[in-house]
Each structure stands twice: as C-alpha cells, then as structure tokens.
Chains A and B, each alone.
Chain A
Amino acid sequence: MYFAGVDIGSTMTKVVLMDKAGNLLSFIKGPTGAEHRQLANEVMRQALEQARLQIDDISYIVATGYGRLNVPFADRQITELSCHARGVSSLFPDARTAIDIGGQDAKCMKIQDGRLVSFVMNDKCAAGTGRFLEVTAATLAIKLEDMGEISLKATENIQISNLCTIFAQQEVVALLSRGEKLENILAGLHDALASRVAALARRLGIERDLVLTGGVAKNIGMVKAMKESLGCEVLVPEEPLLTGALGAAILAKETYMKAVRAGEVLPTKSRRLEKATFFSQEYR
C-alpha cells in the first residue's frame, strides 16, 4: 500500500512517495517550467522509477499547490497551506508556526495538533517572495544559489527601503553606481525580504517552534535574516522544498486509512500518467 503527494508550485513541481508505515520511498523535484502545470506526469514517472513502483501501486494520491487543480491522476486536492502544516509538523512535532517562502507567495501558518488552524498569505505581488531574490540575482548577474553565502560577508548595514521587486531593482542599481559593495547590498536585500515576511507572520502571532520552508529556506543568508527579524530560532528541514508534497502524501495516507477503518471505498481517479491539459479534468 503506497501513497503519493504531488505539489505543483509556481516554480517547482515536487513528488513524495510513501509506504503504509510512513517511510519515504522517493522524492523528486523538477521545474514546473514553461509548460506550467503540465509536467506533473513526468515528475511522477521519475519518482515511481526511483521507488521501483508502478502508478497502479499507489492507493491514494493528493495534489496540492497552485497546479493542484490539473493533476489528472490525483484523487483529492488539498491546499498547500494544509499540506505544508501537516508536512512541517511531521518533521518537527513541536512546530507551532511555519513560514513558507515560495517562488510566488509567502505564507505563514499556525499549527495545532499537527493541523493548520489559521494562516496569512502575502497579497498578489512579488514583494516578499522568492521572485524578489531571483529578479535581483539576475540584475546583479550572480547565481541565485550564491546569494546567501555572499551576503554573509557583509560589513555594513544597507537599508533597502523599497520592497516592490521592480523598484528594489532600481534601488540596487543606484547602490551599485554609488560604489556600495555587493555583499552589503545583498545583506540589505535579505533583511528587506525578511522584515516583510516577519511582519506578515506577526499578523498571525508567532509561536515557537518556528519552521522555515520553501526554496528561500535553502538560502543561508535568508535564514540568518529571518532569525534576526523574528528574534527567535528558525528551524529548517533538510529538504525545505518538499514539506508540501510530504504533507500531501501524509494526508493521502490518512484519508485512505480513515476510509479503510470506516469500511468505505474511496473513489480514485484513473491511474494513467497523462499530461494534464488546462481543461482535461473537471475538478471536484
């Protein structure tokens, strides 16, 4: 008996496969890419290959993330907020607050008894998201994955006052032309992003333990800036991108086992790994 969680984010698609005992069999990340939301089948195929499973072996599949509505082989859709909360609490049983900073949004979640109880998300704007760092990395012609390391070498505090991604870019250009050092500018950018996300989290109320997830959690400079902005310890899972898919797999398992215990048969979708098209599946 196997379960799967598929998390289709704005930037990355993630799949987690799990057995009945909750052991992770495989996990895989692939870019959501230009064929937005259509490559879930490809990422799923790779995950199955790694785990040496067939799609028919999977008892129940939960899809989450912005692309959750268009996974033809998923049996149930659950929002990424519930999935992240579940995934985080399975890794950190004492977690009460989770902050996920993805490519397109930032979300703060309150967790109680392993479940989502309340949440806030950023508004429809790239400020306060991973995109903010992506755009400025491109402006500065450095690699996204190097940003954090470089920022740690900062010797001065620079305030980046504008949090709008486009205007912050202009501010960065102005700072460069003033001769400011790259590492100081990067540290300023991380602080700006962290203060915005921390303000979002404060609206919800911060309780420890606090866990940071999402692609941005892989950035060491960002983790440092978040600790400073929040004024508390920040825990980061080993694979911060996967908590959504992990939570989805756990919720798939829980949904299925609950039905088994109740003697119910859950309806499942056809186990054909087909490419999703925008209107391929009526979402229920």
Chain B
Amino acid sequence: MSDKNKGLNKAREIYLDSSRRAKELKAADKKIIGYPCVYVPVEMLTALDLVPYRTCADMKEPVTEADRALPHSFCPVMRNCLDCALKGKNDFLDGMVAIHSCDPQEKTARIWESYTHYPYFHFIDMPITVRPEALEYFKGQLNDFRKTLEAFTGKKLSADKLEAAIKSHNQQRALVRELYELTKPSPPHVSGTEIVQVVKALTSLPVAEGNNLLTETIGEVKKRAARPEKKSARLLIWSSTLDDTDIMQALEAKANVVMNESCGGVRAYRGEVKLTADRLEGLADYYLNEITCARTFRQAALGETRKDYGRDLQSRFGYLKGAIKDWKINGVVMLLVRYCDPFAFEMPSLKDYLNSIGVPSTYIEYDYTTGALAPMRTRVEAFIETISQ
C-alpha cells in the first residue's frame, strides 16, 4: 500500500488544493511570493527564504471578475489567472513577481498590481530574443529584482545563499528529468496525468519539499506493480500551458502521453543553471537561453541561419529531436490555447520541422474551458487512428 501522504498520493492532494501548504507556511511566518510564469528565477526567492508559489489558472472556474478588466479576445489562461486573483484566491500572498514573458502576462500584471494589494510587487522586463545584448539587459533586470527583494526582506542576497538555492533548484530539475526517464518504457511507469499533478505540486511547494516529493515519487513509481495501461500511441504534447489533469486525461484516453513539452511538464526542468562567478549571469543565461517556450524568438539571434530554413528550424526545435527518438514518440500534438499568438505563429514552422524528421503531428486549438474537452478528445483520437492504422 502506498502511503497517503507521500509520493503520487501527496502530489495529487497538493494538485487538488495547491495553496494549502503555502497557507500553512504562511501561518508559520514564512513569506509567500506568487509568480505566474516559469520564467521568473525562483532561485532568487528561495535564496532569501521566500516561498515561491506559482499562481495558476483553474479551468473549471468560469471567468466572471476578470471581465471587468480584460477583453474576451484575450489569452484565456491569463484571463482565468487574473479572475482567480480578483476572486481573492491568492490573497494569502505576501507578494507577486510578474514578468514580461508574453504580452498578455505584461498587460495582466499591470491590472493585477492595481487591483490587489500585496506588500511586495515586482515586474521583470524580460527581453524576447537571445542576442547577447538581450542577455546583458536581462541581467540588469535581475539585478533590479535583487534590489527590490533585498529592500522587501531587509536581507542581502549573498552569492553563497544564491549558490545553495541554485543547487537545490538544479537538483529539482535533475529529479524531474529522472522522473521523465520512467516514461521511456512501454507502457510508461508513470502517466502524463500523474506527472501533471507532480509538476503542479512542485510549483506550489518550497524547493526542498518538492525535492523530497520527487524522490518519494520516483522510488514509488519504480517499485509499483501497476503501470499505466499501454495505449495505441506514444505522444509528445507541445503546448504553452498544460497543467490540468482533465485535459491530460482527454489526451491520454487512447494514448500514453510520455512527454509534456509545456510549463506544466518538462519545459522548466531541462538543463541547469550554471554557477557563474556573477550568479545572476548564470540565472539570466538559463532563463533566457535554456527554457524553450515560443515566447522567445530564437531565430533572430542566429543571423546566418535565417538564410537557411532547415538550419533555422534545427536551431529552434532541435531540442525535440532527441526526445522524440529516445522516448519512441510516434505522434506530436500541438495543443494551442486560443489567442496565444507566440505558439500559433511558431506552429507552422514546428510542423515543417516535424515533417522534416518524419514525425506525424496534428494541431488542436482550444479555449481553456471544460466544454473544449470532448472535441479535443475526438480530434486527438482521430489523429491516433491516422497514425496507428
């Protein structure tokens, strides 16, 4: 029998009530800082003994309050996030770090700031290209972030503390990759739905607790007799945010989702932050260059590849090739949230890349509501039927 308060069971409980642990910590005088996107360097919060807490959307929550502030034709995930905030779901936060990872995030951040009253609020202006000048600018932004954090906590962000935090978060990245190793066999040892719960838990817990949870989960999954059922396809899902188990279950009805290439999956856990002499440089480099979200324009940095579409595609999507081969993926679903321009514009190029390496793909657009689940399921199942005949 698996322990109710360990591993996958614990992850599921935190998934279902993600703010519970943060509220407990708050009652024990810890300061909780919200962040809406995995581009926020959480190491800097951890180093100052602040608890990073990702403020996620809740697909089951009908958006009502956010209509006061945002138009309908706007990223439904950010509308939903703001709606949750305006309904007071994040009122326990001591602060918020917003970031210009995409335009809806930036617009929402300004509104979020003016409608809520956390003691601390900081906005990081993140560049969207991977040029050296952009890195330099981003480093400056992180330095500004450091200053406001130091003013808020009254503590110095020392290189030693930051080093310890970077090591802990790098360990978390390594553990998530270890967990993903367990989706390599067929059937996988762990389902895409279970991983969604684990990753959501990680972004709701202090890093040390998250690492414990991962260690427990990996041990449990390796030992357990009952694996997920083997389905007729092994899919990689490429999406902006896929952090809801109902969506994952719709996708997994007839397939094993062995790679969730989104910020609800593996995206923020590839690679690691380098321990550079100037610690902020390593952080800036990792967050700008290593995380592969469509919000960053990679092609712009590599001048000569712009003349060669094949090389351009390789530089933008090459990171997927290894995963597709090693995880024996036989189909890619490009799952687009409506109005998400960065992903919508990246999709045709990704499709070309996947065609060039011979992997079937399909794209499904949805509006981040529960009503979209049945059509999504029909589309993904029809896609599976075309690749598994």
A positions within 8 Å CB-CB of B: 66, 78-82, 105, 115-119, 121, 123-124, 283
Contact = CB atoms under 8 A, between A and B. Distances in A.
Nearest to B375: A124
Contact of B378 (A81, A118, A283): A81
Given A116-B385, A116-B386, A79 B367 contact: no
A116 B389 CA distance: 9
B365 to A, nearest CB: 6
Nearest to A79: B382
Contacts of A123: 338, 365
A79 B389 CA distance: 13
Nearest to B389: A115
A82 B385 contact: yes
Contacts of A80: 378, 382
A80 B365 CA distance: 19
A121 B366 CA distance: 12
A81 B378 CA distance: 8
Contacts of B385: 78-79, 81-82, 116
Interface string B146-165: 00000000000000000000
**Max chain B Cβ within 10 angstroms of own Cβ: one of A80, A119, A123, A124:** A124
B312 interface: no
Interface in B357-389: 362, 365-367, 371-372, 374-375, 378-379, 381-382, 385-386, 389
A117 B379 CA distance: 13
A124 B382 contact: no
A283 B231 CA distance: 13
Contacts of B382: 79-82, 116, 119
Given A82-B385, A117-B386, A124 B372 contact: yes
Contacts of A82: 382, 385-386
A121 B386 contact: no
Per CB-CB distance, the 4 closest pairs between chain A and chain B, nearest first, are A81-B382, A79-B382, A82-B385, A79-B381
Instruction: Determine chain A's interface SS by DSSP, over half rule.
Output: mixed
A121 B379 contact: yes
Contacts of B379: 119, 121
B255 to A, nearest CB: 13
B378 A66 contact: yes
Interface string B262-297: 000000000000000000000000000000000000
Interface string B317-346: 000000000000000000000100000000
Given A79-B381, A119-B382, A105 B389 contact: no
Given A66-B378, A105-B375, 16 more contacts: A79-B382, A80-B378, A82-B385, A115-B389, A116-B382, A116-B386, A117-B386, A118-B362, A118-B386, A121-B375, A121-B378, A121-B379, A123-B365, A124-B366, A124-B367, A283-B253
Interface in B93-133: none
A143 B386 CA distance: 39
Contacts of B365: 123
A55 B386 CA distance: 30
A121 B372 CA distance: 13
B324 to A, nearest CB: 19
A79 B383 CA distance: 9
A105 B389 CA distance: 25
Contacts of B253: 283
B73 to A, nearest CB: 12
Contacts of B386: 82, 115-119
Contacts of A117: 386
Contacts of B338: 123
A79 B364 CA distance: 15
Contact of B371 (A81, A116, A121, A124): A124
A120 to B, nearest CB: 9
B299 to A, nearest CB: 24
B381 A66 contact: no
Contacts of B389: 115
10 contacts: A66-B378, A80-B378, A80-B382, A81-B385, A82-B386, A118-B386, A119-B382, A119-B386, A123-B365, A283-B253
